[in-house]
Amino acid sequence: MKVGELATAAGVTAETVRHYTREGLLSPRRNPDNGYQLYDSDDLNRLRFIQRARTLGFSVKEISDILEHADQGDSPCPLVRDLLAQRLPTIRQRIAELEALAARMEQALDTWRDMPDGVPNGHSLCRLIESFPDDKRAESPVHTGDDQ
């Protein structure tokens, strides 16, 4: 199979296949006549495994470690359990932070519902945000990735 065929069979984009190949998670052979990368059913199974691991939150590096164990004939299952056990408390903390952020956002929307719009005047930029209580006890801001 060529890149596009493997991607279609796995339900991913060709760029995803190329990315995992560059990262060393897939090792296609080269067609000697044209240099195309050729993948087989083992690569398809490996790609499906990678996708499952990604849905569980494993990073590309962690998946590489898991695959390395398996490729050496060692069971990666203890590593998999340890990685998830280590990550779960952090995920639960992020969920709590996001729930707190959602509550602050709901409070702000409720408070601002009937407030008139203001115009920046050199002393005020946005009266909605400036009117919101500055809660020093609030956790550090949760970045959603939209602020870059």
pLDDT for 96-142, tens place per residue?
999 999 999 999 999 888 888 877 777 778 878 888 887 655 555 55
Closest CA to 19 of 47, 58, 41: 47
pLDDT for 58-91, tens place per residue?
999 999 999 999 999 999 999 999 999 999 999 9
Helix ranges, the chain (H): 3-10, 14-22, 41-55, 60-71, 77-112, 127-131
The residue ranges of every structural domain in the chain are: 3-74, 84-131
Which CATH code for domain 3-74? 1.10.1660.10
Q: Model pTM?
A: 0.71
